[in-house]
């Protein structure tokens, strides 16, 4: 296996969906490493690429990392400049708000499955109705992790789902506790630090479809949880590939930026969403001992206030800063051992670019080939194309033809495996 970490930046303005948020870092537990499972495929088409046959990337695209020359040929759209949407590309906040309010919402009929977790909690898995019998047992499976307070009702999630299904993929939306109108059965929501639900969801999907490759895509907080899970599982991870979108990575930095300027508007909006979910289930917490502040959680004006009153207490942190500093995914990147594509925007108001773990990404560059497995490449391709719909900018990861000001960061990292 060759360990590959790719860092790519281009001029653009992508932004985090409003139903997502910042959060922070956790030390990875010790575990035994074993080889990652091979991709389930009947073909092995890994072909080394050489410097002599590489295309030259567009000047608005910066590629850093040992897999630079292997990555570019796979995505021809990255060789052309982006011409920004004329009415909204001038300001990152205009882009963010425009996308939140004017995105189309695909009509999808879901079949809900409520998974009771080991601690008697509940997460709701929304599968597309009819896919259980329509698709074969070997159809690749895609798990979608929405952002904070997000769920299967969100347009950015549905657009990704629609495109994946058009390629013959089986898709399931992982609605965290209380999200997507899912039930809350214990006095505990989800958090950036808690990976138990993610582990159980992946295990369920992998056991139900043992002949299929299983992948995951996460947005914002969902991306943070996903990358932390990949780092925790490391070589034991059963996923065949993953994509992280608008990941805050360093939640301490994200929290600092979230409380500045116009970002306060997003902060209050997300806090309102958290308060709404909490209020519906507040009786579960009323008999709890400890430092819970029920009134403060129900009336929080910011995500930080909510986390101080409830989240950090639920998960045993001494303060909200302790919670953030131990729940970020930036320290997890170096432990990821499956192919991982991360798309970041430098001007994202919710996931600041200064939180991207660039040095860890640059450190792992000892690769000389790219996995040309068809399904993995298809996953990355559909994400780049769906991002155009998600941002309503027809751009994927680009937003300007500027050759000097890089406004988007792409990170592709992981252990490259042969096969499909």
Task: List pLDDT tens digits, range 397-419.
Answer: 222 222 222 223 344 433 333 33
Rounded to whole angstroms, the Cα distance separating 176 from 117 reads 12
Q: Is the dihedral of CA 214, 215, 218, 223 positive or negative?
A: positive
Rounded to whole angstroms, the Cα distance separating 407 from 60 reads 9
| SS3 of the chain | CEEEEEEEEECCCCCCCCCCCCCCCCCCCCCCCCCCCCCCCCCCCCEECCHHHCCCCCCCEEEECCCHHHHHHHCHHHHCCCCCCCCCCCCHHHHHHHHHHHCCCCCCCEEEEEEECCCCCEEEEEEECCHHHHCCCCCCEEEEECCCCCCCCCHHHHHHHHHHHHCCCEEEEEECCCHHHCCCCCCCCCCCCCCHHHHHHHHHHHHHCCCCCEEEEEECHHHHHHHHHHHHHHHHCCCCEEEEECCCCCHHHHHHHHCCCCHHHHHHHHHHHHHHHHHHHHHHCCCCCCCCCHHHHHCCCCHHHHHHHHHHHHCCCCCHHHHHHCCCCCCCHHHCCCCEEEEEECCCCCCCHHHCCHHHHHHCCCCCEECCCHHHHHHHHHHHHHHHHHHCCCCCCCCCCCCCCCCEEEEEEEEECCCC
Rounded to whole angstroms, the Cα distance separating 96 from 350 reads 10
Is 51 a residue whose pLDDT tops 50?
no
| Nearby residues of 143 by Cβ (< 8 Å), 6 or more positions away | 172, 174, 201, 202, 205, 214, 215, 216, 217
Q: Say which range, 65-79, 130-144, 265-279, 382-396, has the weakest mean pLDDT.
A: 382-396
Q: Is 113 in contact with 173 (CB distance < 8 Å)?
A: no
Rounded to whole angstroms, the Cα distance separating 176 from 184 reads 10
pLDDT digits (tens, 9 = 90+) for 163-217: 889 889 999 999 999 999 999 999 998 999 999 999 999 999 999 999 999 999 9
Q: What is the mean pLDDT of the chain?
A: 74
User: Which pLDDT does position 241 carry in this prediction?
Assistant: 85
Is 256 a residue whose pLDDT tops 70?
yes
Q: How far apart, in Å, are the Cα atoms of 319 and each of 52, 286, 310?
A: 54, 20, 11
Rounded to whole angstroms, the Cα distance separating 153 from 181 reads 9
Rounded to whole angstroms, the Cα distance separating 266 from 348 reads 12
Rounded to whole angstroms, the Cα distance separating 284 from 298 reads 13
Between 234 and 26, the more confident residue is: 234
Q: Is 86 in contact with 377 (CB distance < 8 Å)?
A: no
Q: Is 72 in contact with 63 (CB distance < 8 Å)?
A: yes
User: Which pLDDT does position 7 carry in this prediction?
Assistant: 37
Tell me the residue range of the domain where 346 lies. Answer: 2-416
For residue 59, give the nearest of 3, 19, 10 by alpha carbon: 10
Q: How many domains does the chain divide into? A: 1
User: Which pLDDT does position 60 carry in this prediction?
Assistant: 47
pLDDT digits (tens, 9 = 90+) for 302-331: 999 999 999 999 999 999 999 999 999 999
Q: Say which range, 55-59, 328-332, 352-356, has the weakest mean pLDDT.
A: 55-59
The CATH number of the domain holding residue 112 is 3.40.50.1820
Q: Say which range, 59-73, 120-134, 398-412, has the weakest mean pLDDT.
A: 398-412
Q: How far apart, in Å, are the Cα atoms of 83 and each of 13, 59, 77, 89, 150?
A: 11, 14, 13, 10, 30
For residue 397, give the nearest of 10, 7, 20 by alpha carbon: 10
User: Which pLDDT does position 25 carry in this prediction?
Assistant: 36
Between 232 and 52, the more confident residue is: 232
């Amino acid at each position: 296996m060759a360990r590959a970490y790719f860092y790519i930046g281009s001029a653009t303005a992508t932004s985090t969906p409003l139903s997502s948020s910042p959060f922070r870092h956790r030390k990875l537990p010790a575990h035994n490493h074993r080889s990652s499972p091979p991709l389930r495929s009947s073909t092995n088409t890994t072909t080394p690429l050489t410097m002599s046959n590489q295309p030259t990337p567009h000047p608005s695209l910066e590629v850093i990392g040992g897999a630079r020359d292997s990555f570019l040929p796979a995505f021809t759209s990255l060789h052309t400049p982006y011409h920004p949407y004329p009415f909204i590309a001038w300001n990152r906040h205009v882009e963010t708000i425009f996308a939140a309010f004017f995105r189309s919402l695909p009509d999808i009929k879901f079949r809900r499955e409520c998974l009771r977790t080991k601690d008697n909690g509940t997460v709701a898995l929304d599968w597309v109705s009819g896919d259980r019998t329509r698709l074969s047992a070997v159809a690749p499976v895609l798990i979608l992790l929405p952002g904070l307070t997000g769920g299967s009702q969100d347009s950015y999630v549905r657009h990704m789902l629609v495109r994946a299904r058009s390629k013959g993929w089986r898709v399931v939306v992982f609605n965290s506790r209380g999200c997507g109108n899912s039930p809350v059965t214990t006095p505990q929501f989800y958090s950036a630090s808690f990976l138990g639900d993610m582990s159980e969801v992946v295990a369920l999907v992998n056991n139900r479809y043992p002949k299929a490759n299983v992948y995951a895509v996460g947005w914002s907080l969902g991306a943070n949880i996903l990358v932390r899970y990949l780092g925790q599982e490391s070589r034991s991870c059963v996923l065949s590939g993953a994509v992280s979108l608008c990941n805050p990575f360093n939640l301490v930095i994200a929290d600092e930026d979230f409380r500045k300027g116009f970002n306060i508007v997003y902060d209050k909006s997300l806090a309102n969403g958290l308060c709404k979910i909490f209020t519906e289930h507040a009786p579960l917490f009323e008999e709890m001992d400890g430092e819970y502040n029920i009134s403060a959680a129900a009336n929080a004006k910011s995500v930080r206030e909510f986390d101080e009153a409830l989240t950090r207490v639920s998960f045993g942190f001494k303060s909200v800063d302790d919670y953030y500093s131990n729940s970020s995914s930036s320290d997890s990147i170096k432990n990821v051992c499956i192919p991982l594509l991360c798309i970041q925007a430098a001007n994202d108001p919710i996931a600041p670019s200064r939180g991207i773990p660039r040095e860890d990404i640059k450190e792992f560059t000892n690769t000389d080939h790219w996995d040309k497995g068809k399904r993995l490449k298809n996953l990355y391709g559909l994400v780049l194309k769906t991002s155009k719909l998600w941002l309503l900018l027809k751009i994927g990861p680009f937003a300007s033809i500027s050759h000097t000001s890089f406004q988007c960061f792409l990170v592709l990292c992981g252990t490259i495996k042969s096969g499909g």
